[in-house]
Amino acid sequence: MIIRNLGKSFSVLALGAVLIPTIANAQDALGKMVVAFDGNHSRVEIKSKVDKALRLYDLPVNNEFRGRVGSTLVSLSNSNDVHKTEMQILQCVIDAYTPSADTTFPNMAGVCAKLR
């Protein structure tokens, strides 16, 4: 296993001919989500959905809150009794939003993670 620095802001693990981005070297929340989320989701796709959820739940749309959303989704997805990916939970949170309901993003994400 070889670790190489590919410029100022990005490092990868080189396993043979395969380059694997590392979470520790991702410099912002979206970069970490691209690496940590199950599936092959682009930065643009993740940003679009995360930002939509932040706006729906009246949260600031910034790197700090994107990071909080990402951490919540990864934590829930990694739970033993949850069989959904981060993006599936996120899509459920967006779809389940109701303006008149008094619920928070973390609470709805928890509900969505448990739904079958």
**pLDDT per residue of the chain (116 residues) written in tens, 0 to 9:** 333 444 333 444 444 445 455 545 456 899 999 999 999 999 999 999 999 999 999 999 999 999 999 999 999 999 878 889 999 999 999 999 999 888 999 999 999 999 87
Query: Is residue 14 classed as helix, strand or coil in its secondary structure?
Result: strand
Domains: count for the chain: 1
Q: What is the pTM of this model?
A: 0.77
In a domain, 18, yes or no: no
Q: What span, in angstroms and rounded, lies between the C-alpha atoms of 88 and 15?
A: 29
In a domain, 79, yes or no: yes
- Structural domain for 94, as ranges: 27-114
In a domain, 9, yes or no: no
